[in-house]
Homo-oligomer: A and B are copies of this chain.
Amino acid sequence: MRKKAISASVIKRLPRYYRFLGDLSLKGIERISSGNLARRMGVTASQIRQDLNCFGGFGQQGYGYNIEQLRLAIGDILGFSNAKKTILIGAGNLGRALAAHMDFAGKGYQLIGVFDKKPSLIGQVVSDLPIRDIAGLDEFCRENRPEMAILCIPREETQETARTLVSLGIRGFWNFTHYDLSVEFPDVAVENVHLGDSLMTLSYHLSHPKDTK
C-alpha cells in the first residue's frame, strides 16, 4: 500500500482523518468529495487531496473518496491490525480513568496488565484487569512481552521506571508524566500528553482574547 515515506506532518493528521471518516461511515455515507470533507474538517480541499494521495487510488475524479475503504487503509497504515500488548503503570485517578475510558482495541492495542505500588490499590479490578504489585513487573514482562507502556506515575519516579521498562522490551510510551523521555531514549516511540501544558495554553488565550487563533 505505502509507496513512499510519509511526512511527519501527514502522520500527525492521519488520526483526525480516521475519526472523521469513521463518523461519516457510521452515518451510512459511502463516498465523499475532497471539497465536502474539507468543509467538514475546516481544512482546504487541496490539503486533503495532497495528504490522501500518499496512499494512492482512493480518490477518483467525479466520484470522490470511498469512505470505508479509505478509513481501513488509514487504519492499516496506523498499525491497527497488529494489537500491541500494553501495560499501564500507575493506577491512580488518571490511570484508572484511562483504562476505563479508552478504546484500546479500536486503536491497535491490547491492555494486558495494570501496575501500582500502593497496597490499597493492588487487587482492585480496572477494566477487567486486576491491579498488580509493581514488584512483579519484571516477571510479568518477561512472560507476556508487552511493547507499550502507559505512564501515569509521579514525575520523580519516571526516569527509573522508564529505564526498567526499556530494558524489559518496551518500545513505546504513552507518557502522562511531565518527565521528558525523548532526550534519554531517542529510539523509543514517545507520545507525551501534557495536560498541564494544554491548560496553560488555554489560559493564555483566555487572557489575551485578541491573540486567539
> Chain A interface (Cβ within 8 Å of chain B)?
5-6, 11-12, 14-16, 18-19, 41-42, 77-80, 82, 84, 92-94, 96-98, 100-104, 107-109, 147-148, 171-172, 174, 178, 180, 182-183, 186-187, 189-191, 193-209, 211-213
Contacts of A104 in B (CB 8 A): 199
Contacts of A182 in B (CB 8 A): 42, 213
A204 and B101 in contact, given A5-B211, A197-B19, A212-B189 (Cβ under 8 angstroms): no
Q: Name the one of B5, B19, B97, B203 contacting A79, with C-beta atoms under 8 angstroms.
A: B203
Q: Which 6 A-B pairs have the closest CB atoms?
A: A79-B207, A97-B97, A189-B205, A15-B197, A15-B200, A108-B203
Contacts of A186 in B (CB 8 A): 213
Q: Name the one of B16, B101, B189 contacting A94, with C-beta atoms under 8 angstroms.
A: B101
Contacts of A107 in B (CB 8 A): 196, 199-200, 203
Minimum CB–CB distance from A90 to chain B (whole Å) comes to: 11
Contacts of A193 in B (CB 8 A): 193, 195, 198
A6 CA / B202 CA spacing, docked (Å):
15
Query: B16 to A197, Cβ gap below 8 A?
Result: yes
Known pairs A107-B199, A186-B213. 18 more at Cβ < 8 A? Answer: A6-B211, A11-B204, A14-B201, A14-B204, A15-B200, A19-B178, A42-B182, A78-B200, A84-B206, A97-B97, A104-B199, A109-B199, A147-B206, A172-B202, A191-B198, A191-B199, A191-B202, A193-B193
